[in-house]
Chain A
Amino acid sequence: MCGLCGVVGAEDHWTDAAATSRIVGGAGAGRTRRQERLRRVAIGNKILAHYGLKLSDWQGSAYILRNRTGRQEIVPHLAALWPAAEALAGRPCDPLDPDVIAAMSQSG
């Protein structure tokens, strides 16, 4: 737990392996852990925009998810992001939804 803010440290999540050069990308991809997090936020926001949500990095240790009415939630990693996103958006976030696929293909 962080003594200053009282946030319990999150468990390692499998997607964080990207930050470990020996596992994925790493040296080849030339990204540091911080850059990887910012990139995750940038890509995540393209999807979350579809639900009226916005993600930002918080101190390199968690993420803040906000909706348009200003409600916000701190999430430790990607697995925790989606239940929070569904709660803030008030609807399911389904990557297999044809509308979502069409929107993602266009913005790509």
Chain B
Amino acid sequence: MASGDTKIPVNVITGFLGSGKTTLLRRLLASPRLANTAVLINEFGEVGLDHLLLERLDEETVVLQSGCVCCTIRGDLVTAVRDLFFRRESGIIPAFDRLAVETTGLADPAPIVFTFMADPVIRHHFRLGNTIATVDAVNGPLHLDQNPESVKQVLVADRIALTKTDICDGEQTAAIKARLARLNPAAPLVETAAGDFDPEDLLAADLHDPARKNEEVRRWLAGAEALADPQGEAGHSHRRLDVNRHSARIHAICVTHERPLDWTAFGIWLTMLLNRHGENVLRVKGILNVLDAPTPVVIHGVQHLIHPPVHLDRWPDGDRRSRIVFIVRDLDRATLERSLAAFNCLAEAGSEAA
């Protein structure tokens, strides 16, 4: 089995119709450091891609018995990725070192994430890297208001690429940036029209890159700190009053726990929470101070799909509390904190008895 470091990273490029996914992909692939990337796309759009390793996907889904949308296997993706891998191994195609999957504008990215984590062949050879969502600065607010898929794409993203800022005014740009930061504070935002972004930073800087993972965690913690600021939260609350907008019910919260967490109790708590509230817990990203572990543990997931935990070599800052950023619909921070604390004290009593 390939270890975490030798698996081929996969980048999912998502974004609403016409938000500039293909244009972004073309610019990313032009970077010499990312030239050895295989690309799977859902549809040939107006913007042509001229790339050596380009394959087309036909959307075909297999819904698993649970009937949950995020636990859907994309049959087309399984076939395409397995086929690509076998041809790579047989030397029929060059040994690509990265795979980019461009979704359709209306796609929910969660089944793609699930497919890479669940398929027994794929998960042993590939690992998920950053998911990038493109958001159009001009039409983005309308997409977010009217299409739940657009909101979901932003929530699942590890990076947000804001496009078309060159054709809208500063006020519009500031408004959409504030809205995106509220929806997903853990995802750094890049304005691609400015042209001075680092393609590697978008695609390659992730939790599996030993040189960058601490910096990556520091970034989402900075987003979490903004949430913990009471003034910031008060500032956001007026937007939540608009309940007619479905995205108004979605917000990010940062759950903190002062004492070291018991890993066993935490696992029981999070699986129980995600089983009952998985539909309303859209995203989880956290750094944990685990009892008896000298260094922090990072967890991240989309709905009830949690990735294998990652160990950091050192704490990214002076704060030793466990901090978990949740993007939720209709759940509140205080209840989550109380619940986590109650489960953790259960473990403390349990370990004395054991």
Chain A residues within 8 Å of B, Cβ to Cβ: 11-12, 14-15, 17-18, 22-26, 28-30, 36, 38-40, 42-44, 46-47, 78-79, 81-83, 86, 92-96, 100-102, 104-105, 107-108
B271 adjacent to chain A (CB < 8 Å): yes
Q: Do B268 and A40 have beta carbons less than 8 Å apart? A: yes
Which residues of chain B are near A102, meaning CB under 8 Å?
342
Q: Do B293 and A24 have beta carbons less than 8 Å apart? A: yes
Which residues of chain B are near A100, meaning CB under 8 Å?
339, 342
Q: Do A108 and B349 have beta carbons less than 8 Å apart? A: yes
Q: How far is the CB of B135 from chain A (nearest CB, A)?
A: 29
Q: Do B306 and A95 have beta carbons less than 8 Å apart? A: no
Q: Report which of B268, B273, B290 forms a contact with A24, defined as CB distance below 8 A.
A: B290
Q: How far is the CB of A16 from chain B (nearest CB, A)?
A: 9
Q: Do A78 and B345 have beta carbons less than 8 Å apart? A: no
CA distance A81 to B311 in the complex (A): 26
What is the total of A-B residue contacts with beta carbons within 8 Å? Answer: 127
Q: Do B339 and A39 have beta carbons less than 8 Å apart? A: no
Residues 237-276 of B at the A interface (beta carbon under 8 Å):
262-265, 267-269, 271-276
Assuming the contacts A22-B311, A95-B273, asked whether A43 and B350 have C-beta atoms less than 8 A apart, the reply is yes
Q: How far is the CB of B349 from chain A (nearest CB, A)?
A: 5
Apart from the given pairs A23-B309, A24-B297, A29-B293, 10 other A-B contacts in the complex at a CB distance below 8 Å: A23-B297, A23-B308, A38-B354, A39-B351, A39-B354, A42-B350, A43-B346, A101-B335, A104-B346, A108-B342
Main SS at interface, chain A: helix
CA distance A15 to B273 in the complex (A): 14
Residues 271-306 of B at the A interface (beta carbon under 8 Å):
271-277, 290-294, 297, 299, 301, 304, 306
B343 adjacent to chain A (CB < 8 Å): yes
User: Closest residue to B353 on the A side, CB-wise?
Assistant: A42
Assuming the contacts A23-B297, A24-B290, asked whether A40 and B345 have C-beta atoms less than 8 A apart, the reply is no
Q: Do A29 and B291 have beta carbons less than 8 Å apart? A: yes
Q: Do A47 and B309 have beta carbons less than 8 Å apart? A: no
Q: Report which of A15, A86, A95, A96 forms a contact with B267, defined as CB distance below 8 A.
A: A15
Residues 315-354 of B at the A interface (beta carbon under 8 Å):
331, 335-336, 338-339, 341-351, 353-354
CA distance A30 to B351 in the complex (A): 13
Main SS at interface, chain B: helix
CA distance A86 to B290 in the complex (A): 29
Assuming the contacts A24-B293, A28-B293, asked whether A104 and B342 have C-beta atoms less than 8 A apart, the reply is yes
27 A–B contacts from the bound complex (CB under 8 Å): A15-B267, A15-B268, A18-B264, A22-B311, A24-B290, A24-B293, A26-B293, A39-B264, A39-B351, A40-B264, A46-B349, A46-B350, A47-B272, A47-B343, A47-B346, A79-B271, A92-B276, A93-B276, A94-B272, A95-B269, A95-B273, A96-B331, A96-B336, A100-B339, A104-B346, A105-B342, A105-B345
Which residues of chain B are near A14, meaning CB under 8 Å?
267, 299, 301, 306-309
Which residues of chain B are near A29, meaning CB under 8 Å?
263, 291-293
Which residues of chain A are near B344, meaning CB under 8 Å?
108
Q: How far is the CB of B269 from chain A (nearest CB, A)?
A: 6
Assuming the contacts A39-B350, A39-B354, A108-B346, asked whether A23 and B311 have C-beta atoms less than 8 A apart, the reply is yes
Q: Do B271 and A82 have beta carbons less than 8 Å apart? A: yes
Which residues of chain B are near A22, meaning CB under 8 Å?
311
Which residues of chain A are near B274, meaning CB under 8 Å?
79
User: Closest residue to B331 on the A side, CB-wise?
Assistant: A96
Which residues of chain B are near A42, meaning CB under 8 Å?
350, 353-354
CA distance A26 to B118 in the complex (A): 26
Assuming the contacts A24-B293, A39-B351, A95-B276, asked whether A18 and B346 have C-beta atoms less than 8 A apart, the reply is no
CA distance A26 to B294 in the complex (A): 11
Q: Do B275 and A82 have beta carbons less than 8 Å apart? A: yes
CA distance A100 to B301 in the complex (A): 25
Q: Do B290 and A25 have beta carbons less than 8 Å apart? A: yes
Q: How far is the CB of B245 from chain A (nearest CB, A)?
A: 25
